[in-house]
A and B are shown apart, each in its own frame.
Chain A
Amino acid sequence: AQKVTQAQTEISVVEKEDVTLDCVYETRDTTYYLFWYKQPPSGELVFLIRRNSFDEQNEISGRYSWNFQKSTSSFNFTITASQVVDSAVYFCALSTAGAGSYQLTFGKGTKLSVIP
């Protein structure tokens, strides 16, 4: 069975601080995908990034960066110079292909509050 653990339930930072959201996953599959989604107060789920299990390169997109380490089964997300608009719940998720479909297993989410 798949499992995703986001140990940080809530984080508060002051604007312009850097913040890292932790994600640890468990799976026995060798092929899998990792995701981060953002859920702003408006409620929709916004896709941020996808990584596959064969690509451990870190990725940077503007103020966002992701650190994927298979050795520790972690896929951490860092926001540099945080802004108020970054306030949201962030979900890490794991997808494996089984029985003809992908099943996305979510962590419980980390609520980030960026204080002006």
Chain B
Amino acid sequence: NAGVTQTPKFQVLKTGQSMTLQCAQDMNHNSMYWYRQDPGMGLRLIYYSASEGTTDKGEVPNGYNVSRLNKREFSLRLESAAPSQTSVYFCASSEVGGYTGELFFGEGSRLTVL
């Protein structure tokens, strides 16, 4: 049982380049999320998808787009990367109907924008 899988684990981009972070979960969860983590800032929600076919902005959505490709997959795209997007990105999933509201996290993707 892989849980939440993110790719790539590491990426270096030049300013203005584009890239997509991929995320897949095998827990049949309805909701998926993208967070970014910056030093001293904790984790901040970028976008989330409550269910297949829906996406909504979180706290820091500017400069990002997302696609909920199907129930398993939720991708995060940077169309024109900026140094301010240098961060560690975490994908997560949860089951709303469950008791806990617990999020299950991937291992993170470290992105550097030069």
| A60 proximal to B (CB < 8 A) | no
Residues in B whose Cβ lies below 8 Å from that of A108: 40-42
Question: Do B42 and A101 touch (CB < 8 A)?
Answer: no
Stretch with Cβ within 8 A of B (4 or more), from A13-21, A62-70, A78-86, A92-100: A92-100
A102 to B88, CA, bound (A): 21
- In the complex, the answer to whether B107 meets A102 with C-beta atoms within 8 Å is no
Bound Cα distance from A96 to B104, whole angstroms:
16
The answer to whether B90 touches A45 (Cβ under 8 A) is: yes
Q: A45-B90, A101-B31 are in contact. Are A50 and B100 (CB under 8 A)?
A: yes
Closest chain-A Cβ to B71's Cβ sits at a distance in Å of 14
Chain B residue at smallest Cβ distance from A47: B102
Instruction: Give Cα A76–Cα B88 distance, bound, in whole angstroms.
Output: 26
- Majority-rule SS of A interface residues: strand
- B42/A104 in contact, CB under 8 A: no
CB distance from B4 to the nearest CB of A (A): 10
Size bin of chain B's contact surface: 20 to 34
B45 contacts the other chain (Cβ, under 8 Å)? yes
Whether B96 lies near A97 (C-beta < 8 A) is yes
Q: Which residue of B lies closest to A99 (CB)?
A: B50
In the complex, per-residue mask of B9-51: 1 if CB is within 8 Å of any chain A CB, else 0: 0000000000000000000001101010000111111001111
Residues of chain A within 8 A (CB-CB) of B103 are 95, 102, 104
Q: Contact: B94 with A102, CB < 8 Å? A: yes
Q: Which residue of B lies closest to A6 (CB)?
A: B42
Q: In the bound complex, what is the Cα–Cα distance between A3 and B26 (angstroms)?
A: 30
* B42 CB contact (under 8 Å) in A33, A91, A103: A91
Shortest Cβ distance from A84 into chain B, in angstroms?
A: 23
A101 to B92, CA, bound (A): 12
Task: Write out the residue numbers on chain B whose beta carbons fall within 8 Å of the beta carbon of A47.
Answer: 102, 104
Pick the residue among A33, A99, A100, A106 that contacts B101 (CB under 8 A). A33
A43 interface residue (CB < 8 Å to B): yes
Q: Which residues of A contact B48 (CB under 8 A)?
A: 101, 103
Map CB proximity to A onto B44-67 as digits: 1 under 8 Å, 0 otherwise.
110011110010101000000000
